[in-house]
Amino acid sequence: MRQRAAALGASAGAHISTFHSLCVRILRRYADSAGVRPAFTIYDQADQTRCIKRAVKDCDLDPANFPPARMLDALSALKNKLVDADAFAARTDDFFSRMLSRVYLRYQQILAGLNALDFDDLLLKTAFLLEGCPDVRRELSDRFRFLLIDEYQDTNHAQYRIARALASEHANICATGDPDQSIYRWRGADIRNILAFETDWPDATIVKLEENFRSTPNILAVADSLIAFNKNRKPKKLIATRPADDDVLVDAFDDEMAEAEAVARRVRTLIDEGSSCRDTAVFYRVNAMSRLLEEAFVRNRIPYQIVRGVEFYNRSEIRDLLAYLKVLVNPDDEISLARIINTPARGIGKITIDRVRSFAVRNGITLYAALKKAEAVESLSGKVKDRLTGFVKMLEDFKDYITGPVAPLAERIFQESGLAQSLAAGAGKDDSALENVNELINAAAQYDLNTEEPSALDYLQQISLFSDADAYDPAGDRVALMTLHAAKGLEFENVFIVGAEEGLLPHEKSNGREDEDELEEERRLLFVGITRAKTRLQISHAKYRTVRGQTLRTIPSQFLFELGSGFSESPEEDDYPDQADEPPRPIPAFVAGQIVRHKTFGLGRVKKFVDMGQNSIVVVTFNTGQTKSLMVKYAGLSKVQNT
């Protein structure tokens, strides 16, 4: 989480840390009381997915009916509410929750066996520790005598309970935040935390920060107009203190290439006029959009940085290298072990692994311990045994270096494991992999320099919690490219927001689901992006966009119609087909539940109708299973009689 819990200790100096990092430090220090082993590995989403798949399988459930992503979301929601597996088991009522409960119990068993904690466990275990051990709570409360929590609107219930426990002894707690900037509801952030702060701490002084020193009135007007469309909010007025300046621009481009190129050229112009690169940022909804922009910036010779925190650590070459480190630090981490045992290929296949695993189970030892005793596994050929012992020996040799600087160890692993060689062999098609590895090793070297007693364990636990905030380098004079989420808390003279299209912003995954809440969160996301801009703001969309290899005509984001009138449209003619030729026709209204037919997608059911006159949008779930946003005037939908 981005919000930081800063604790100001009189003698120790101020600590600035994210909630999760604080939890890691607490859990390591009070491991016994918290019921964890200190060398735990922190599992991210990919690792969690592997574990939950295994848990679902162990419970004899069909992954088709119990999709891993769904299950993880459900477990995460429970953990964020501090409902552990046992507590949940006691309160299941329907079939699904009974199955979920079994998966939950099994999942926790698996993680415990691997000596791993997921992100939610870090919070849950810390909260339980603080609430269950008064001694620990008092000690920490005394150590952190003043508590300041930023971005409080994005705290979840577990974080709330941790903060409450830490402040319980002294009540020196200060929280800052803005409910209109809550963009992590999907991750369990509970807006009630900030709304209820005054009731939780009755003596608290409330300071409203309504004056905005950052943005021009032009930008604030657009932000204000947009966010006012959210029904579920406390109205608030932003008061501009700066004089009016340039108009906000809303631009339409032919396709995503043209959009990226136009943005790059406009940035080029700003730079030529004397603006620093660091003063400009480009925001997008999904990481996948960064590539086109990157290419455009290269073409226009503009220095840029792609701010990617988590994204970087999802790269397979990075995951491979880190998996080696994880296994060295925590041999129980079979998820990482499974990843590296045949990466790069060294002739250890699935069947071999299964045999060693069953040997491990029979003898009640871990997979790694079984690998060490590979000689004793009868079902293996001598050749295979040799490969296994060679692999284990390599790891054991690396182990000599797990305390001490990390960069040399990472370099050594990269070379001696064969990763370097296999990367070089596959090069040509993608030379960025080697670059990424070098970046990782450089970052490790930086860690070594900044840390008194560097170790692989400490390094791994730190980078697992690496955030987008850490990824942004304000020192470099480069244009920043990042997702709207990553933009939170930052500000720039010039801001470009691209891809303001239905399905992208708001994202289709959050359109018309359950209720309006998800749409409102998308609106807040754009609001956050807009309010990052100090002086110049350009929001754009492409008329055609290629997604997954298919070029489709897009629909401008409904949010563009909610910006009020305080902006200039692009001078280009709006050349959507049909519009010029045909006189405006009355737009038919749809209601949710209405069955409709589309010439390409066939039959579907209306999920939602957004009445915007000529620009009305209808969201339809088609029988093919896909949900699409369509502009009524182009969709050619016909209403079908409900039977």
Partner DNA sequence: GTAGTTGTGGTTTTT
Partner DNA sequence: CCACAACTAC
Nearer to DNA among residue 82 and residue 465 (C-beta): 465
Nearer to DNA among residue 68 and residue 217 (C-beta): 68
Nearest distance from C-beta of residue 497 to DNA, angstroms? 14
Nearer to DNA among residue 224 and residue 334 (C-beta): 334
Nearer to DNA among residue 73 and residue 247 (C-beta): 73
Distance separating alpha carbons of residues 398 and 594, to the nearest angstrom? 64
Nearest distance from C-beta of residue 44 to DNA, angstroms? 6
Q: What are phi and psi of 105, to 5 degrees?
A: -60, -45
Distance separating alpha carbons of residues 459 and 424, to the nearest angstrom? 27
User: Where are the extended beta strands (E) located within 479-562?
Assistant: 479-483, 492-497, 533-547, 550-553
Nearer to DNA among residue 290 and residue 616 (C-beta): 290
DSSP state of 189: B
Nearest distance from C-beta of residue 332 to DNA, angstroms? 22
Nearest distance from C-beta of residue 136 to DNA, angstroms? 22
Q: What are phi and psi of 62, to 5 degrees?
A: -85, 120
Nearer to DNA among residue 247 and residue 255 (C-beta): 255
508 near 627, Cβ under 8 Å?
yes
Nearest distance from C-beta of residue 345 to DNA, angstroms? 4
Nearer to DNA among residue 45 and residue 276 (C-beta): 45
221 near 566, Cβ under 8 Å?
yes
Nearest distance from C-beta of residue 5 to DNA, angstroms? 11
Residues that bind DNA (CB under 7 A): 1-2, 18-20, 44-46, 53, 64, 67, 69, 119-120, 184, 186-187, 285-288, 309-311, 316, 342, 345-352, 384, 465-469, 483, 485-486, 507, 509-510, 548-549, 626
488 near 528, Cβ under 8 Å?
yes
The 8 Å CB, 24+ separation contacts for 617-620 are 617/502, 617/555, 617/558, 618/590, 619/511, 619/512, 620/596
**Residue 75: alpha-carbon gap to chain centroid:** 17
For CA atoms 554, 558, 560, 561, the dihedral sign is positive
Nearer to DNA among residue 341 and residue 537 (C-beta): 341
Distance separating alpha carbons of residues 261 and 238, to the nearest angstrom? 34
Nearest distance from C-beta of residue 97 to DNA, angstroms? 22
Nearer to DNA among residue 109 and residue 342 (C-beta): 342
In the structure encoding, which two tokens stand for residue 361, read together?
């189970």
Residue 570: how many other CB atoms lie within 10 Å? 15
In three-state secondary structure terms, 520 is: helix
**CA-based nearest residue to 26, from 110, 114, 117:** 117
Nearest distance from C-beta of residue 461 to DNA, angstroms? 12
Residues near 612 by beta carbon (within 8 Å), at least 6 away in sequence: 558, 561
Nearest distance from C-beta of residue 638 to DNA, angstroms? 26
